[in-house]
Amino acid sequence: MIKQINHQDRHTAKQILDVQIPAYKIEAQIIGFDGIPQLKDTVETIVTSTELFIGYIQENKLIAFLAYSKDENEYQICRLVVQPAYFKQGIARKLLKYFMNEIVRHHEKVIVSTGADNVPAINLYKSEGFAFLKNIEVAPNFYISLFERESKIN
């Protein structure tokens, strides 16, 4: 089940971290960069985050989530994270589709970025209709790839 989750609840924030930290450690290995900001998150930074969270709940346990922000011009996917034990089961795709179909309004732009060497994430975004915009150097010799998509009328 996919639903909005309350990251301001400390127990939920801990569950978010229990999914996020192991997943981002694997991403750090894939992209060869351990400076991913989300690796430094704490319960406190999750609780005080201005992002909105939707979670993938299985057997009453959070196993994946998508966090996003919105301004007057666009949405930004800030995190799309799956517990490593559940990798390659289509859960990230389900969360992304839910977000695009149930949360994003018609003809609004969605921006997402990932490490330029994170091939699984890049393939997911491209397969879901996101267009590559550019690579951005965010640390010496480390690049993120920026993608965007406009939502469609259902």
Domain count, the chain: 1
User: How high is the pLDDT of residue 9?
Assistant: 96
105-117 mean pLDDT: 89
For residue 72, how many other CB atoms are within 10 A of its CB? 4
Q: Comparing C-alpha atoms, which of 58, 47, 59, 60 is closest to residue 95?
A: 58
Residue that has been written with the tokens 């351990």 in this structure: 34
With 70 as the cut, is the pLDDT of residue 152 above it? no
Q: Indicate the helix (H) or strand (E) that contains 146.
A: strand 142-150
Residue 24 in 3-state DSSP? helix
Q: State percent of the chain over pLDDT 90.
A: 75
**Domain interval for residue 26:** 2-150
Looking at residue 146, which CATH number applies to its domain? 3.40.630.30
Query: Which residue has better confidence, 103 or 154?
Result: 103
- Express each pLDDT in 16-73 by its tens digit: 999 999 998 988 888 887 878 888 999 999 999 999 999 999 999 999 999 999 988 8
Residue 146 CA to residue 47 CA, distance in Å, equals 27
With 60 as the cut, is the pLDDT of residue 100 above it? yes
With 90 as the cut, is the pLDDT of residue 128 above it? yes
Question: Distances in Å between the alpha carbon of 98 and those of 2, 18, 92, 127?
Answer: 8, 22, 10, 15
User: How high is the pLDDT of residue 35?
Assistant: 78
Query: Which residue has better confidence, 12 or 31?
Result: 12
Q: What is the mean pLDDT of the chain?
A: 92
Between CA 89 and CA 92, with CA 91 as vertex, the angle to 5 degrees is: 120
Residue 102 CA to residue 89 CA, distance in Å, equals 21
For residue 115, how many other CB atoms are within 10 A of its CB? 20
